[in-house]
């Protein structure tokens, strides 16, 4: 290898390192609150208070759901695969359709869930690394509804 070639390689590796680092920084800076406003409030309303009979409230609920056994996995699955089916939340029935947000990357979904669980409830420490395994399971909306039903069996959901 000539010296020039050597330099070229070092240069390339250096550049790669910088762009990987830049990606890392961008991911670390995902703003869950801003994502919540742009992706969730159209249905779940400002502050995630919901709309009775149409969109279930998220505020004061998700952080407590996350504390149940399997609760975090359920919330991750709702975001990745959506949810359809009759559910009951805070005195109201819902039979709507929650779209999947699987186009968002792992860090965006983790940031969204950290933010959303923390609205009037203890924020759950959900990390991007938990997303890949969940994605691989490729669940259906019916699977997610069944997961919620199983959670309800551990006690009424908030």
CB of 51 to ligand HEC, least distance (A): 9
Position 66 contacts ligand HEC (CB under 6 A): no
Contacts of 148 (CB under 8 A, 6+ apart): 74, 83, 85, 87, 157
List the one residue from 39, 68, 120, 135 that touches ligand HEC (CB under 6 A): 39
Rounded distance, CA 152 to CA 86, Å?
Answer: 13
How close are the terminal C-alpha atoms of the chain, in Å?
Answer: 66
The footprint of ligand HEC on residues 76-115 (CB under 6 A) is 78-79, 83-85, 87, 89, 94-99, 101, 112
CB of 145 to ligand HEC, least distance (A): 7
Position 119 contacts ligand HEC (CB under 6 A): no
Nearer to ligand HEC, 62 or 124 (CB): 62
Can you read off the two tokens belonging to residue 100? 């999947």
Helical segments of the chain, H only = 3-28, 32-39, 41-44, 62-67, 71-81, 106-117, 129-136, 141-153
List the one residue from 59, 62, 76, 131 that touches ligand HEC (CB under 6 A): 62
Instruction: Please state whether beta strands 92-94 and 97-98 pair in parallel, antiparallel, or not at all (unpaired).
Output: unpaired
CB of 116 to ligand HEC, least distance (A): 5
Mapped onto helix, strand or coil, the DSSP state of residue 158 is: coil
Nearer to ligand HEC, 9 or 86 (CB): 86
Rounded distance, CA 94 to CA 109, Å?
Answer: 23
The footprint of ligand HEC on residues 124-143 (CB under 6 A) is none
* Chain contacts with ligand HEC (rule: CB under 6 A): 39-40, 42-44, 55-56, 58, 62, 75, 78-79, 83-85, 87, 89, 94-99, 101, 112, 116, 148
């Amino acid at each position: 290898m000539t010296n020039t070639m050597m330099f070229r390689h070092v240069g390339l590796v250096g550049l790669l390192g910088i762009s990987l680092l830049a990606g890392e920084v961008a991911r670390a800076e995902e703003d869950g609150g801003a994502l919540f406003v742009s992706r969730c409030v159209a249905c779940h309303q400002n502050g995630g208070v919901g709309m009775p009979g149409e969109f279930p409230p998220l505020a004061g609920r998700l952080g407590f759901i996350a504390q149940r056994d399997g609760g975090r996995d359920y919330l991750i699955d709702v975001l990745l695969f959506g949810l359809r089916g009759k559910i009951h939340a805070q005195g109201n029935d819902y039979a709507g359709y929650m779209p999947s947000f699987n186009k968002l990357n792992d860090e965006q979904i983790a940031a969204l869930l950290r933010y959303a669980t923390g609205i009037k409830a203890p924020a759950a420490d959900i990390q991007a690394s938990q997303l890949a395994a969940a994605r691989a399971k490729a669940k259906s909306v019916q699977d997610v509804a069944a997961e919620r039903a199983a959670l309800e069996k551990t006690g009424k959901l908030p």
